[in-house]
């Protein structure tokens, strides 16, 4: 019997690398949110116990939004693709919520600061979920060649380490000396601008990386292969 030649859905090296920037985009925000407790405590005046409780609640909320975002992604088949809208709007939502959280919380009346914090952080979690939910399924659409799939893991690891390592260097070696510590609100204002700008560029790169693959015919082919 003749053996059928396997025809893989191939992706170029640059497509895999650019799409992995999506992880860098989200992890830059995740690194920034690692400092939200410092900001809420030292600048706004929230008690440490209160901050811990609020962040725990937000983690539970994140667990609720994940399956919902996955369901919406599965049902999305618009003219702009399946993945690109989630990446674009997810990043925009995170940018807006970050500006609101670090840029306006200090001006909110004390009695409203806690509910405002919860609402804005919940908005951030929603945006973060939207952009991260495309990760694994997007890689599957890019290529099903087992020889190339490890490239995604390699790029993901490099970009995630760069996002966290770069954030630590920026804060410790530049922002802290410039502003004199974590009690200066200027540190958080400048840090969030860095994150918003760099994350936006990473998201644009990721959208470019998956652009040619984010089409209906590729979803149909992928579904047939799973069956």
The whole-number pLDDT of residue 137 equals: 78
The pLDDT assigned to 219 comes to: 62
**More confident site: 178 or 156:** 178
Q: Which of 18-27, 52-61, 94-103, 179-188 is predicted with the least confidence, judged by mean pLDDT? A: 52-61
With helix as H, strand as E and coil as C, how does 143-199 read?
A: CCCCCCHHHHHHHHHHHHHHHHHHHHHHHHHHHHHHHCCCCCHHHHHHHHHHHHHHH
Site of tokens 């799409």:
19
Q: What is the pLDDT of residue 152?
A: 81
Q: Residue 3 above 70 pLDDT?
A: no
Whole-number Å distance between alpha carbons of 224 and 15 = 23
For 173-217, the pLDDT digits (tens) are 999 999 999 999 999 999 999 999 999 999 999 999 988 887 766
* pLDDT higher than 90, residue 221: no
Pick the residue with more confidence: 149 or 102? 102
Rounded Cα distance between 184 and 29, Å, is 20
- DSSP secondary-structure letter at 2? P
List, in order, residues 6 or more apart from 18 with CB less than 8 Å away.
Answer: 205, 206, 208, 209, 210
Residue 223 has pLDDT above 60, yes or no: no
Q: How far apart are CA 123 and CA 33, in angstroms?
A: 13
pTM over 0.75: yes
Tell me the pLDDT of the chain averaged across its residues. 86
Position 80 pLDDT exceeds 60: yes
């Amino acid at each position: 019997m003749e053996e059928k030649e396997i025809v893989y859905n191939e992706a170029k090296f640059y497509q895999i690398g650019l799409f992995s920037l999506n992880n860098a985009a989200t992890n830059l925000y995740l690194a920034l949110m690692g400092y939200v407790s410092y900001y809420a405590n030292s600048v706004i005046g929230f008690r440490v116990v209160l901050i811990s409780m609020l962040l725990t609640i937000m983690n539970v909320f994140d667990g609720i939004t994940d399956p919902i975002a996955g369901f919406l992604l599965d049902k999305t088949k618009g003219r702009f693709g399946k993945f690109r809208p989630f990446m674009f709007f997810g990043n925009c939502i995170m940018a807006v919520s970050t500006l609101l959280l670090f840029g306006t919380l200090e001006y909110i009346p004390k009695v409203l600061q806690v509910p405002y914090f919860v609402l804005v952080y919940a908005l951030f979690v929603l945006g973060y979920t939207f952009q991260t939910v495309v990760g694994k399924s997007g890689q599957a659409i890019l290529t099903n060649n087992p020889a190339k799939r490890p490239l995604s893991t390699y790029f993901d690891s490099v970009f995630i380490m760069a996002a966290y390592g770069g954030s630590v260097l920026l804060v410790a070696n530049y922002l802290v000396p410039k502003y004199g510590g974590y009690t200066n609100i200027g540190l958080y204002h400048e840090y969030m601008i860095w994150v918003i700008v760099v994350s936006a560029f990473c998201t644009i790169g990721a959208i470019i990386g998956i652009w040619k693959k984010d089409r209906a015919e590729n979803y149909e082919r992928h579904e047939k292969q799973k069956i």
